[in-house]
Amino acid sequence: MLEPLKRPEGEGLLLVDKPVGPSSARVVSIVKRACGVRRVGHGGTLDPFASGLLPVLMGRRFTREAGSLLGGDKEYVLTLRLGSETDTLDFTGQVISRGEGPLPSGHDVSAVLGRFEGVIDQKAPAYSALKLDGRPLYWYARRGIKVAAPTRKVEIHQIVMEEFLSPDVKLRVVCGKGTYMRALGRDIGRALGCLGHLTALRRIRVGPYSVDQALPLWRISAVKGGG
């Protein structure tokens, strides 16, 4: 049995293993109460449906140095369900389109992945925090307002298919800053001609930091004042 975590104090970088469910902002709130530090921020948002490594920076010095501390590549493991696309590009949304014809084979999936390695143009998901005219894209999407989502260049260093159990494909992705995994899943599904959306997403590395080094959120919540 794990010993109760003592109340951490002061400035620093805290690596948190975020479970599925809470938002990144909720994790920051829990850490802030547990640590008694007023200035707390996180290094890269994880959607509520996603889990994994969320670096949390505590104190003015560390929040100011977030870019240099966490500016490296990121690594994810994701599950892409083939056959349909949702409005949020993950399982929490509504199905808006279904693919036609038979689902692709594992060989078909492997053959298309190479198209997405390197520097590519990626259109941001409609449900994302990327801002357009001062408002996040999800503000428009939730109100049914159609806007042209920005497209930007991102770099994907490696995509490896780890498992294929149709209609699900498990992928491991190493990428640069600003890459949307939900958009990647959308684009792979469209390239295969069958559409797709994410059913699971876990971030396992940010720069030199691994999720294996992270504390589970429940241990931080157990600290007096952190719930």
Owner of token pair 């003015």: 60
Q: What is the 3-state secondary structure (H, E, C) of 76-137?
A: EEEEEEECEEECCCECCCCEEEECCCCCCCHHHHHHHHHHHCEEEEEECCCCCCCEECCEEH
Direct distance between the N- and C-terminal alpha carbons of the chain, in angstroms, rounded to an integer: 20
Catalytic residue among 47, 73, 168, 212: 47
Distance, in Å, from the CA atom of 67 to the CA atom of 72, rounded to the nearest integer, reads 9
Helix (H) or strand (E) holding 205: strand 196-206
Strands 40-42 vs 51-58: parallel, antiparallel or unpaired = antiparallel
Residue 133 annotated to the active site: no
Residue length of the chain: 227
Active site residues: 47
